[in-house]
Chains A and B, each alone.
Chain A
Amino acid sequence: MFISRRISINHYLWTFLSVIIVTIIGKLLTPFFNLTNIVLLYLLPVLISAVRWGRGPSFFAAFLGVLAFDFLFVPPVFSFTVSEVRDLFIFAVYLVVALVTGTMATKLRNELEKTRQREERTLALYALSQEIAAEADLPQVLETLVKTVSETIHAQVSILVSDPDDDVVRQAASYPPQHSLPDGKEQAVAHWVLEHGLSAGKGTEILREASELIFPVKAEDKTLAVLAIKMNNEEETVSPEQRQLIEAFANLAAVAIIRVQLAEEAEQAKWLAESEKLHRALLNSISHDLRTPLASITGAATSLLAEGNVYTREVREVLLHTIKEEAQRMNRFVANLLDMVRLESGILKPKAEWCDIQDIIGVVLRATKEASQQHILKVHIPPELPLVKADFTLIEQVMINLLENGVKYSPPGSEISISARYHDKMLLVIVADSGSAIPKIEQERVFDKFYRLHSTKNISGTGLGLSICKGIVEAHGGSIWVDSSPEYGNRFTFSLPVSEQPPEQQDTKEGAEHVI
């Protein structure tokens, strides 16, 4: 560690001053003490300077002490001559004690200093590792890294990450933020370091004429990024201890970068697997759910065409109804698929309009009249429900899906109830059927795309209806869930936020009087 010359002269001056002070004190005490006591006083500046300023000033204090003691205290006073051998002995012992304690104190001081620095670094490393372990976002990780390195070693620090696509290094983060790697030589050094994985630039054996030290950030044998370091004090070079520290930081950075990259890859892989699963489910569903009604339609239509006159009126009716119903089924399926694609692709954006839930329920009841005629429908809507901002047709779609599900999965003749209530700034709509309860473990999954209950695989369906409901309700900022029990069947509930109310509207100019 280098200490500048100016500071070291100051230290010697302070040492000199302390010897003078001790001399004055010694002079004042001379009438009360003998010489051997006085010489002990001169050990004080030696110890102080050893602890505070190191070996040089402590030795300086020791020799100064001998001279001052000889000149001012040892008779004959004001002369360097020594009259008695006994006094020479005192000098010798004093010098040995002073030099030994000076050396030891200095050593102790250095050890202490080193320990303190080590602790500081360990703390910095620990803090950094804590900080970047919690961070999932790469730019954030890099920013934290350069800031910590910069503050710990007192330098301007940048990190440059390699861009594999166009073979350049991009500056990813730097601290202080305005610090950037100059063009030309330093950029070339950065490239070299990235390629070779060795540190280069100022203070190294390679490309030493560069103004910055460029340090590789490596994971195994791959260089992921480089750290560019420029000491705040231009004349200083990076010490071996600092290099070790930088290396430790670089290792941490490498781990963090790899971790973020792996997380991204895992996410990607998961998404791919998910989409592949979805595609397969979609293909299966399309081939099955479109072909089955097509088969019935083709069968019925060709029978009617080829019949001659063998069919009775009733049989013809049955065939015609088959055609109609199967065509409707196909149409529903296509509509579901379209809705799902719209939801998935983000095209579907709910129109926020004031809606009266009673009005929506009315439309739903009309639309499902035919489908639900085998069931007993109970509707319970309290008056004075607030209007809700929602997309009328989408919420209608949600309710139709829920109601048709209820009809499909509960026995004919059983009761299906629709109710709505206002609770805690939410409008809750509940569609309850008395079908067999959905097992607890499947209650979450019924809202997944293409998910079909194990117990109902024999009932035709696509597994899209509820996932569409979920998509629509969530696009409105609400949520949907089901609770089931063998006692009451299944209760599907969805909530819509009621955040504000439309402004009150006065009746027309004539006032609120009734017409006669």
Chain B
Amino acid sequence: MSSEGARILVIDDEKQIRRMLKAALEGYGYNIAEAAFGHDGLNQAAIFHPDLIILDLGLPDIDGIEVIKRLREWTKIPIIILSVREHEDDKIDALDAGADDYVTKPFSMGELLARLRVALRHVAKTDDEPILNFGELTVDLAHRNVMLRGEEIKLTPTEYELLKFLALKADRVVTHRQLLRAIWGPNYQEQTHYLRIYIGQLRHKIETDPSQPAYIITEPGVGYRLVTRD
């Protein structure tokens, strides 16, 4: 995998977590740098040139959200939040501030590794592919065409925009606000029922069992994620 050997900066004040992450991630061939404070983390991000940052929100000196904002002033390095804060508002704040993904502690290493790969893959992908593949689902951006198991699916313009936005951010969580802003405009950021209705319709068209969706996964209270089924 191309992501192996990537440089990862871990910003977390818990020594045990850092030790465990270092051991586990180095086992997968990643290069690890550590920081226990927000300021130190910001410095390391400039010196170590990481490909990805794993960030804890509860830092002793500055809040993790602040760290995200300062990083986003100059870099697009993927940031994955790893925090005990499990409330949806915290996740939304971090994602809206510019984090790429969110994993709550306690976490499974398998899940963290999967999210790392997704984030790194997105960085590696530079060319704009006009056709996006998600297993049996294909979105052809050039022709505004959606195919499921080789058959074309008829979508309304809104449904299509929704699917396209999720597809372009595949495997990453997209918040309600980001979706509403992108598709309905900044005045509709609070109208979550639009999303409920259109996601429901979309699922009825593309999912085999809409109550057990395989493509559009709900991130409770936060948003949605379109998953690649390989």
| Contact surface of A with B, Cβ cutoff 8 Å | 327-328, 331, 351, 353-356, 358-363, 365-366, 379, 381, 387, 391-393, 396, 502, 505, 507-508, 510, 512-516
Contacts and interface: CB of A to CB of B under 8 A. Distances in A.
A176 to B, nearest CB: 52
B156 A512 contact: yes
Interface size classification for chain B: 20 to 34
Given A362-B213, A508-B157, A515-B155, A387 B193 contact: yes
Given A359-B199, A379-B212, A393-B221, 5 more contacts: A362-B213, A363-B220, A366-B217, A392-B220, A507-B158
B218 A362 contact: yes
Contacts, number: 76
Contacts of A358: 200, 210-211
B160 A362 contact: no
A387 B196 contact: yes
A393 B88 contact: yes
B208 interface: no
Main DSSP-derived SS at the B contact region: mixed
A359 B144 contact: no
Contacts of B221: 351, 391-393
Interface in B175-199: 191-194, 196-197, 199
5 contacts: A327-B106, A387-B193, A502-B197, A514-B155, A516-B145
A391 B48 CA distance: 42
Contacts of B194: 505
A342 to B, nearest CB: 10
Main DSSP-derived SS at the A contact region: mixed
B196 A515 contact: no
Contacts of B217: 366
A514 B144 CA distance: 11
Looking at B199, B200, B211, which has the most chain A CB atoms within 10 Å of its CB? B211
Contact of A365 (B88, B156, B158, B211): B211
Contacts of A393: 88, 220-221
Interface string B79-115: 0000000001000000000000000001000000000
Contacts of A396: 220
Contacts of B197: 356, 387, 502, 505
B146 to A, nearest CB: 8
A355 B192 CA distance: 9
A502 B198 CA distance: 13
Given A354-B193, A365-B211, A365-B212, A508 B200 contact: no
Contact of B161 (A351, A392, A502, A508): A508
Contacts of B199: 356, 359
B200 A507 contact: no
A513 B155 CA distance: 9
B160 to A, nearest CB: 5
Contacts of B145: 515-516
Contacts of A379: 211-212
Nearest to B195: A354
B216 to A, nearest CB: 9
Interface in B138-160: 144-146, 154-158, 160
Nearest to B184: A508
B17 to A, nearest CB: 14
Contacts of A351: 221
A514 B218 contact: no
B144 A515 contact: yes
A298 B199 CA distance: 45
Contacts of B213: 362
